[in-house]
Structure 1
Amino acid sequence: MTRTWFITGTSSGFGRLMTEKLLARGDKVAATLRKKGSLDDLKEQYGDKLWIAHLDVTDTAAIYAVVKGAFDAFGRIDVIVNNAGYGLFGAAEEVSDDQIRHQIDTNVIGSIQTIRAALPLLRAQAGGRIIQVSSEGGQIAYPNFSLYHASKWAIEGFVESVSQEVAPFNIDFTLAEPGPTMTNFAAGLVSPPKMDVYENTPAGDVRNMIASGEFEIHGDASKMAQAMIDSVDVNPAPKRLTMGAGAYASIHHALTQRLQELESQKDLAISMDRD
């Protein structure tokens, strides 16, 4: 079964990989990117099966115009893939106000507005699937990634809620949660000037591990891109798609610890209801 997809952030990484795989199997793709020209090779090869638009997801008006343009171009979009995003890498005290705002504007508000722009069009065609690319960092947290985690935990909460709101319209969601993966994510990290006071702290330890290569990355980006594509054939839609042994281990540990902490407070929690 061929489908038509709308994917943000296709210049590289998961977005580029998914676009390549989908076109190769005969699907159509509406691809957005910030780096103009980065899909010219695919456009030359696949012609009208690939629709390309420049988009900065911090521009809400542009999001609505581009989403509508993609639906107008293809008539129907079966799957929306919210992939555009990046990581802000620094201790909370180190990052600037402008960096905080841009991280939230890109990873949270940009994703929310893309979904909001698509919802009425998906309703009008009686349904569709939305894949929100999150991260293991939507359920766990490393030091020195506080603002990145804030963005991923936020978008996961939004998807948890909106998925319930639009389920009656046959619109389904999946949160894709990759662990550390061999993409260009690390190269795209934005880092503020570091403060020496954090050198011998957990934040400094993580920073040094990444700089030295000690922070091991085992995830296969191509396999993960394929898993996201394959998830659309699964019904009902998986609420979450955990990708990578590292992601499984870290999320399992975090959830187990969280449940243990919750159970330890059961009697106290219940005692706080009105008599």
Structure 2
Amino acid sequence: MTKKTWLITGVSSGFGHALTTQLLEKGDTVIGTVRNFAKIQDLIEQYPDTFISEKLDVTDVPAIHTLVNKVASEHKIDVLVNNAGYGLFGAAEELSDEQVDKIIATDLTGSIQMIRSILPYMRQQNSGRIIQISSYGGQVAYPGNSMYHAAKFGIEGFCEAVAQEVAQFNIGLTIVEPGGARTEFRYGSAKVADPIPAYDGPTHAFMKMLDPANGLAPGDPKRMASRIIESADQTPAPLHMVLGSEALKNTIERLETRVAEYKSETELAASTDFPVDEK
């Protein structure tokens, strides 16, 4: 199988680290971005020829363009994996302006700019694969997660449009929608807003989920990483890939409910059209 060069954001933990480790073990080249090199020193030392570490904060848009221009001029990037991101929990009213701005900059704008930056290179080489790590939270919304859902619903809409734009250039795009997994996303990196007691109850139910003492998430990040890697060889690229049986069940249920809601509005929608006999 042909070796590939991957550009992956956020490789110090979670899916990014699992993907990078498996890819390096099978002989591919990984250009991995981090904010702290100390967290990936083991990979730097173990794979000096095939692991290239780059420092990047995905909220710094000029830095994104500079980095992508640099690495894409030095290497043929076969696959971009937008992985960098984090979870933010709390009712909309509980969130600060800074928290709102930061998660949009990280989980939404950062991914958009990485894709925009790599597209000219993939278009010129007439090949490429973009893998966007989203969440089944890009299809299913829960209370206490409003801004995370805003970012994930947003990036999924962006990616669905871009996938149609770039298919003519032999560029495939896959939106990965994992369910709960045993990564630092849930048990370490998640940010929580200052609580307002009025929202105790269903809105603060996420607090139980974030405590490992209440049971671990069902998803295995190593198995999920393996499925993501395999998807890069699928033709055509799957547009959506849900990882986790619970995530798929919840996604299907929500989509079926949504379709039923829209179908119930058939007469309402038609009532706003000009009558067919009017010119």
TM range (shorter): over 0.9
Alignment of 1:218-257 (within 5 A): 218-257=218-257
Q: Deviations over 1:153-182 (max 9, x none)?
A: 000010011111111111110000000111
Alignment of 1:21-40 (within 5 A): 21-40=22-41
Alignment of 1:126-165 (within 5 A): 126-165=126-165
Give 1:216 shift.
5.3
Q: Deviations over 1:108-152 (max 9, x none)?
A: 100000001100011111120000000000000111111000000
Amino acid in the other structure paired with 1:104: I
Give 1:212 shift.
7.0
The aligned counterpart of 1:269 is 269
SS in 2 for 1:67: helix
Amino acid in the other structure paired with 2:198: V
The aligned counterpart of 1:12 is 13
Structure-1-length-normalised TM-score: 0.96
SS in 2 for 1:273: coil
Distance (whole Å) between structure 1 residues aligned to residue 216 and residue 17 of structure 2: 23
For the 8 Å contact 1:144–1:207, the answer to whether it is kept is: no
Alignment of 1:59-78 (within 5 A): 59-74=60-75, 76-78=76-78
For the 8 Å contact 1:51–1:70, the answer to whether it is kept is: no
Q: Tell me which moved more, 129-138 or 119-128.
A: 119-128
Distance (whole Å) between structure 2 residues aligned to residue 20 and residue 182 of structure 1: 16
Q: Which runs of 5+ in 1 are unaligned?
A: none
SS in 1 for 2:173: strand
SS in 2 for 1:172: strand
Q: Which runs of 5+ in 2 are unaligned?
A: none
SS in 2 for 1:47: coil
Give 1:73 shift.
3.0
Q: Tell me which moved more, 158-167 or 101-110.
A: 158-167
The aligned counterpart of 2:106 is 106
Distance (whole Å) between structure 1 residues aligned to residue 31 and residue 158 of structure 2: 24
Indicate the percent of aligned positions where both proteins have the same amino acid.
45
Aligned length: 273
Distance (whole Å) between structure 1 residues aligned to residue 103 and residue 215 of structure 2: 23
The aligned counterpart of 2:203 is 203
Distance (whole Å) between structure 2 residues aligned to residue 160 and residue 61 of structure 1: 25
Give 1:4 shift.
0.6
Closer/same/farther in 2, CA of residues 215 and 104 from structure 1, 3 Å limit? farther
Distance (whole Å) between structure 2 residues aligned to residue 12 and residue 231 of structure 1: 21
Q: Deviations over 1:167-208 (max 9, x none)?
A: 111111000000011111121111121111111x31123324
Structure-2-length-normalised TM-score: 0.94
Q: Tell me which moved more, 39-48 or 180-189.
A: 39-48
Distance (whole Å) between structure 1 residues aligned to residue 83 and residue 229 of structure 2: 13
User: Cα RMSD (Å) of the superposition?
Assistant: 1.3
Q: Tell me which moved more, 169-178 or 262-271.
A: 262-271
Runs of 4+ in structure 1 deviating by more than 4 angstroms, as ranges, are none
